[in-house]
């Protein structure tokens, strides 16, 4: 899926006392279908802001955002909800698993939302759990897993419906180097086999090395 930002500006409105914060100033960006791009930049430079715009979680203050030719910055909330469910997989630093669901149910969740039939949900979820190396933990709950295991479950959930776009915000930020490496290997294997577009923000040189190229974020803008 192609990702395109055209002259995007983003301002977070402050409360009455707090001044508004302009984070992005006239950002234009093109990421080709199937590319693996890495966002780098200092804390507060706007990486998560860009990922939220790309993932259609937030709208730009001005400018346009396109995903695969659809202008998401102009689409209805209803349309965006469906687009996010069907076409985007999200991976977060904090994993964001659903604590009341088992590992199996967490990974199956996007298929349940898509009303896939029960038998297919079962076989696809089992296959995904094998792939992320957690078949033996299917009936456990997230709080019974290590951080690395939680992130592998979260990646299984992010990709089980084969979204053409994966947005990852510091996916190894809470992991030690060994678990981080296993999560990055998993992301790389998904990229190699399914060819989704991946946009990943990271502070880590080791993580950045997994991408095809780097986009630097600084002073409200981006450069390659």
Ligand X SMILES: Nc1ncnc2c1ncn2[C@@H]1O[C@H](COP(=O)(O)OP(=O)(O)OP(=O)(O)O)[C@@H](O)[C@H]1O
Find the binder of ligand X among 15, 16, 17, 43 (CB under 6 A): 43
Q: How far is the CB of 210 from ligand X (least distance, A)?
A: 18
Q: In this complex, which beta carbon is closest to Mg ion, that of residue 92 or of residue 104?
A: 92
Find the binder of ligand X among 46, 63, 180, 196 (CB under 6 A): 46
49 binds ligand X (CB under 6 A): yes
48 binds Mg ion (CB under 5 A): yes
Number of residues that bind Mg ion (CB under 5 A): 2
Q: How far is CA 45 from the centre of its chain?
A: 18
Q: How far is the CB of 41 from ligand X (least distance, A)?
A: 6
Q: In this complex, which beta carbon is closest to ligand X, that of residue 47 or of residue 191?
A: 47
* 4-23 binders of ligand X (CB under 6 A): 12, 21, 23
What SS3 string covers the chain? CCEEEEEEEEEECCCCCCCCEEEEEEEEEEECCCCEEEEECCCCCCHHHHHHHHCCCCCCCEEEEEECCEEHHHCCHHHHHHHHHHHEEEEECCCCCCCCCCHHHHHHHHHHHCCCCHHHHHHHHHHHHHHCCCHHHCCCCHHHCCHHHHHHHHHHHHHCCCCCEEEEECCCCCCCHHHHHHHHHHHHHHHHHHCCEEEEECCCHHHHCCCCEEEEEECCEEEC
Q: How far is the CB of 46 from ligand X (least distance, A)?
A: 4
60 binds ligand X (CB under 6 A): no
204 binds Mg ion (CB under 5 A): no
Q: In this complex, which beta carbon is closest to ligand X, that of residue 47 or of residue 137?
A: 47
202 binds Mg ion (CB under 5 A): no
84, interface contact from Mg ion, ligand X, none, CB < 5-8 Å by kind: none
Q: Are 187 and 168 in contact (CB under 8 A)?
A: yes
* Binding site residues, ligand X, CB under 6 A: 12, 21, 23, 41, 43-49
Give the residues lining the site for Mg ion (CB under 5 A).
47-48
């Amino acid at each position: 899926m192609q990702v395109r930002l055209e002259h995007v500006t983003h301002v977070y409105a402050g409360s009455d006392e707090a001044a508004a914060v302009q984070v992005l100033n006239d950002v234009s960006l093109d990421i080709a279908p199937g590319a693996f791009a890495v966002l780098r930049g200092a804390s507060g430079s706007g990486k998560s802001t860009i990922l939220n715009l790309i993932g259609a979680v937030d709208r730009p203050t001005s400018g346009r955002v396109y995903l695969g030719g659809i202008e998401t910055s102009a689409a209805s909330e209803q349309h965006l909800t469906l687009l996010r469910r069907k076409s985007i997989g999200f991976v977060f630093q904090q994993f964001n698993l659903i604590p009341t669901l088992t590992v199996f149910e967490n990974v199956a969740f996007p298929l349940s939302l898509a009303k896939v039939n029960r038998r297919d949900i079962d076989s696809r979820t089992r296959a995904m759990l094998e792939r992320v190396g957690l078949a033996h933990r299917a009936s456990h709950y997230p709080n019974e897993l290590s951080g690395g295991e939680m992130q592998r479950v979260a990646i299984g959930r992010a990709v089980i419906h084969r979204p053409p776009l994966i947005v990852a915000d510091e996916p190894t930020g809470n992991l030690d180097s060994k678990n981080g490496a296993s999560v990055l290997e998993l992301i790389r294997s998904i990229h190699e086999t399914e060819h989704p577009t991946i946009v990943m923000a990271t502070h880590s040189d080791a993580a950045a090395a997994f991408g095809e190229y780097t986009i630097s974020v600084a002073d409200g803008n981006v450069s390659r």
